[in-house]
Amino acid sequence: MPQRWTTFFAAAVLVASLACGAVPGVEDDPVSPNSTGDFDVEEEQVPSSFEELLEQAEQGDASAQYNLGARYRQGRGVEQDDAEAVRWYRLAAEQGDAEAQWYLGAAYYSGRGVTQDPVEAVRWSRLAAEQGNAEAQTHLGHAYEIGEGVTQDRVEAVRWYRLAAEQGYAMAQSNLGLAYANGRGVTQDRVEAVRWYRLAAEQGYAMAQTNLGAAYYSGRGVTQDRVEAVRWSRLAAEQGNAAAQTQLGYVYEIGEGVTQDRVEAVRWYRLAAEQGNAMAQTNLGSMYREGRGVPQDDAEAVRWFRLAANQGNARGQTNLGYAYYNGLGVPQDDAEAVRWFRLAADQGFARGQTNLGSMYREGRGVPQNDVEAVRWYRLAADQGNALGQNSLGYMYGNGRGVPQDDTQAYMWFSLSASRSSGEERDSRVDNRDQVANRLTPDQRAEAQRLAREWDEAHPRD
């Protein structure tokens, strides 16, 4: 029977997601012109005095009815009154006025001045969209994309986005770019995504600027250029876009495309975090935890981690769990650590899964259970998480929660080492080599084959 050992490195070491801020991605949700429940200020179709408008509107003039509705909605020259705005918009809309149809649809979407009704919102938006109103076309595309007020149909969403985008409407261009980037309703085409992002970004549309910056950062759909990424992210960040502010904080933290400046990183993270951006809150917490760009402060780190965790951010949940595990900024509490690790793990976050596995392995905050530890380690390992792979190798090497199997142990240690660097890589290579000394040449060749096949089946980003 092969000898067992308990000295493999990091089998039960818990980790936080602290090394650097999380890499920000694109703004991935399409938007509607009325997503916020508010709209741009309409220009009057024919500017007139209130008295003239009222007289004309009461005589059935659709343009006057629309303009009167706009004045009531905005409170211009009259007490603001959403219900009265809707009444006048409806009269104009029923005569076929496209702008009035759009604003009536928007009122039904937001519930301003009328009972909220997504189906009725779609009906009026469609009437305006069919007359070529770009805002209504964009809203109709959004309704089809998310299935609100209409059966979800992403192909139809793309059709409406395209009609508005081809009129030069920036929001539709940005949404169409997202559709191409993600292959939603259209064949994925990142070059085409960048083309639409750029058209919107050059009009100053912040979400498109953010996504164009992310494309330059990652090199998806365009030649990678970190300086250009920073330029577009900054344009959006200066407009207050939280995702772009988070991106800008990240590049200042690591010094890509700009001179590294952790104080500046903290400034941008804070601007986004104070808007409620969960990734920025997590990254700001990490800066406080490590004392990067701010004085080290565990309690402040926990405050930001908790804000992100309460929004469901898995990285924030993992870091909050880690704080409870170690008593950093909060009283030490294994049960609370398990609770937060589990919330992250249930979302598929690999570090949360690895940490939860280690809690089961150690019996901290939960009854000791090697089988359950292996289950969570495997979920992380199958995502390519190096620590999860190393921990799974440990369990196979020691026959804990699984039958003892040196071939499997070698495979997982080898995969883990290939995804690690520095001292961690050296330690995982040592683990692999300890196992290698126990294998026959044929067993070692088999373990190498298994590792190679696994790697080929799980391409890295």
| CATH number of the domain encompassing residue 297 | 1.25.40.10
Rounded distance, CA 429 to CA 415, Å?
10
Inter-residue contact 249 to 258 (CB < 8 Å)? no
pLDDT (0 to 100) of residue 459: 86
* Residue 386 within a domain: yes
Would you give per-residue pLDDT tens digits along the chain (461 residues)?
A: 333 333 333 444 455 554 445 555 556 677 667 654 444 445 555 556 888 889 999 999 999 999 999 999 999 989 999 999 999 999 999 999 999 999 999 999 999 999 999 999 999 999 999 999 999 999 999 999 999 999 999 999 999 999 999 999 999 999 999 999 999 999 999 999 999 999 999 999 999 999 999 999 999 999 999 999 999 999 999 999 999 999 999 999 999 999 999 999 999 999 999 999 999 999 999 999 999 999 999 999 999 999 999 999 999 999 999 999 999 999 999 999 999 999 999 999 999 999 999 999 999 999 999 999 999 999 999 999 999 999 999 999 999 999 999 999 999 999 999 999 999 999 999 999 999 999 999 999 999 999 999 999 998 76
Q: Are residues 245 and 360 in the same domain?
A: yes
- Is residue 46 a part of any domain in this protein? no
Question: Considering 342, 368, 394, which residue would you say is the last residue of a domain?
Answer: 368
256 with 357, same domain: the answer is yes
Are 208 and 177 spatial neighbours (Cβ–Cβ below 8 Å)? yes
Cα–Cα distance for residue pair 248/234, rounded to 1 Å:
7
Same domain, 315 and 395: no
Burial level of 47, CB count in 10 A (0-12/13-18/19+)? exposed
In a domain, 150, yes or no: no
Specify whether the CB–CB gap between 261 and 239 falls below 8 A: no
Same structural domain, 409 and 364:
no
**End-to-end Cα distance, the chain:** 40
Spatial separation of the C-alpha atoms in residues 314 and 318, rounded to whole Å: 6
Per-residue pLDDT at 422? 95
The pLDDT score that the predictor gives to residue 461 is 66
Cβ–Cβ under 8 Å, residues 455 and 415: yes
d(CA 359, CA 372): 10
- 145 occurs within a structural domain: no
Residue 393 domain-assigned? yes
Residues 310 and 356 in one domain: yes
Specify if 209 maps to a domain: no
Counting the structural domains of the chain, the total is 2
Count of CB atoms situated within 10 Å of the CB of 340: 27
3-class DSSP state of 11: coil
Q: Which burial class, exposed, middle or buried, applies to 175 when counting CB atoms under 10 A from its CB (0-12, 13-18, 19+)?
A: buried
Sign of the torsion angle spanned by Cα atoms 283, 288, 289, 293: positive
Give the C-alpha separation, 455 to 350, whole Å. 17
User: 360 and 406 share a domain?
Assistant: no
Residue 307 lies in a domain: yes
pLDDT at 50: 86
Summarised one tens digit per residue, pLDDT across range 181-205 is 999 999 999 999 999 999 999 999 9
Burial (CB count within 10 angstroms: exposed 0-12, middle 13-18, buried 19+), residue 425? middle
Which DSSP state fits 113? S
**Phi and psi, residue 371, nearest 5°:** -65, -45
Q: Cα(120)–Cα(107) distance, rounded to whole angstroms? A: 10
Looking at the structure, tell me whether residues 375 and 325 fall in a common domain: no
> Is residue 360, in this structure, part of any structural domain at all?
yes
Answer yes or no: do 356 and 383 share one domain: no
Beta strands in 103-147 (DSSP E): none
Q: Quick one: pLDDT at residue 49?
A: 82
Q: Are 115 and 146 in contact (CB under 8 A)?
A: no
Q: Are residues 403 and 299 in the same domain?
A: no
Residues written for the chain: 461
- For residue 52, what pLDDT is reported? 87
Q: Are residues 357 and 386 in the same domain?
A: no
Q: Which residues of 9-32 are buried (b: 16+ CB within 10 A; e: fewer)?
A: bbbbebbbbbeebbebebbeebbb
Q: Among 319, 343, 368, where does a domain finish?
A: 368
CB-CB neighbours of 171 under 10 Å: 26
Q: Which domain holds residue 328?
A: 1-27+241-333+352-368
267/381 same-domain check: no
Reference 252, options 269, 236, 238; nearest CA is 269
Verify that 262 and 363 share a domain, yes or no. yes
User: Rounded to whole angstroms, how far apart are CA atoms 194 and 42?
Assistant: 30
